[in-house]
Amino acid sequence: MSLWRIAPSVYLPALLYGIGQGAIAPVVALSARDLGASFAVAGLVVAAAGVGQVIGDIPAGSLTTKIGERRAMLLATGLVSVALVACLLVPTVWGLAIAIAATGIAASVWGLARQAYLSEAIPLQLRARALSTLGGVQRIGSFIGPFLGALAMRFLGTDGAYWVHLVAAVLACGVLLSLPDLESVRRKRLARPVAVQSTRSVIREHLPVLRTLGVGALLVGAIRASRQVVIPLWAEHIGLDPQTISLIFGISGAVDMLLFYPAGSVMDRFGRKWVAVPSMTVLGLAHLLLPLTHTAGALTAVALLMGLGNGLGAGIIMTLGADASPPVGRAQFLGAFRLFADTGNAGGPFLLSAVTALTALGPAILVMGLTGWAAALAMNRWIPPRPHPHPTTPD
């Protein structure tokens, strides 16, 4: 199956879903505050999405194995729609937290199913470009979402952002119905029926990969999540106003957005290390330089460097997971592999907060920079020179 044949039905839903996620990202804390939450509790409500994603990773793999990738994506889109309606209606903070956690679970199922779908449907020689484009489309959607959410909020208040996500989810569901099903492709490709393995047996069989490359994915997730926190915190620390901070963050995100296809092309042509190691090295270096900045211009330069480092690694975790995944039990393996990366995404900001509480913000940012370099070393050590195609990988 060629990339161009399924591109609209894969990437358009991803764009729509990304727009929805971007639309609600800035307003979850505000919704919690409107319901009477303290700043600390509002932060926990925001974190509920990440917790839901971690909780959902392993079950998402089992679900996708049982019902197939397309049905899993449709189910996840239905779940997020229900959760968004709850966000609009719940009268309590903890009800909102549960609804936001449900959006995280839905995002886990959605993300794993679309990754498994492309891993199965796209030839190995195009895999990195397909998955990095998927990551890039998601970034574009997250970039557009806050602007559409702001427009809707002019007329509907804070609820407008949730309506943007809800409409985007419904549209994505409609597009997903046109997605070709892979079950017939599998039946033709596999010479004989293969018994479905349990999730536990898949994890046990591939534990050597998970405890090495999976740990590398955890470190990558931590440094990437840190980037989204340290730029605004350090900008506030040096006295910049919110408008300037938003502008700097947006410029960094724009650089990040533009690099996804070149990154995938390099991975397909030269190997995964050529992207993973430089990406983490640059991202770690940018963290180490950040505490040395004391002006808006210097901070902007470092933020651009962070965007460059993060953009270089677009799709790297999805590609590495796809490379390591077996033809039988693929979704279950991907669920376990994504658990490491999502744990890093959730844990990075907590590590930053813990070190800041013990020392100060500057040393905490330096620790995260060293985490980035540790990720570069892990990727250099454990990524194989070339992905090894399985016998049942499509040509």
Residue-range domain boundaries for the chain? 1-189, 198-385
CA neighbor of 131 nearest in space, from 145, 112, 144: 112
The CATH topology of domain 1-189 is Growth Hormone; Chain: A; (1.20.1250)
Mean pLDDT, rounded, for 177-182:
67
Q: What is the pLDDT of residue 122?
A: 80
Whether the CB-CB separation of 371 and 223 falls below 8 Å is answered with: yes
Mean pLDDT, rounded, for 77-86:
93
Considering the segment(s) 198-385 as one domain, its CATH architecture is Up-down Bundle (1.20)
Whether the CB-CB separation of 336 and 214 falls below 8 Å is answered with: yes
Lowest-pLDDT choice from 125-134, 214-223, 287-296: 125-134
Percent of the chain past pLDDT 90, that is, above it, reads 32
Q: What does the DSSP 8-state code read for residue 156? A: H
Percent of the chain past pLDDT 70, that is, above it, reads 89
CA neighbor of 383 nearest in space, from 208, 213, 128: 213
Mean pLDDT, rounded, for 5-33:
83
Name the one residue in this structure whose structure tokens are 């998970």.
Answer: 210
Mean pLDDT, rounded, for 374-389:
85
pTM assigned to the model: 0.81
Whether the domain at 1-189 and the domain at 198-385 fall into the same CATH topology: yes
Residue 387 neighbours by CB under 8 Å, 6+ apart: 124, 127, 272, 323
Give 125-178 pLDDT, tens digit per residue. 888 888 888 888 888 888 888 888 888 888 888 889 899 999 999 998 888 887
Q: Over the Cα atoms of the chain, what is R_g?
A: 20
Mean pLDDT, rounded, for 203-209:
87
Residue 391's pLDDT band (boundaries 50, 70, 90)? very low
Give 88-119 pLDDT, tens digit per residue. 999 999 999 999 999 999 999 988 888 888 88
Lowest-pLDDT choice from 25-29, 34-38, 215-219: 25-29
Q: How high is the mean pLDDT of the chain?
A: 85
Lowest-pLDDT choice from 89-98, 138-147, 209-218, 236-245: 236-245
Residue 326 has pLDDT above 80, yes or no: yes
CA neighbor of 20 nearest in space, from 143, 169, 151: 169
Q: What is the pLDDT of residue 190?
A: 46
Backbone phi and psi for residue 290, each to the nearest 5 degrees, phi listed first? -55, -45
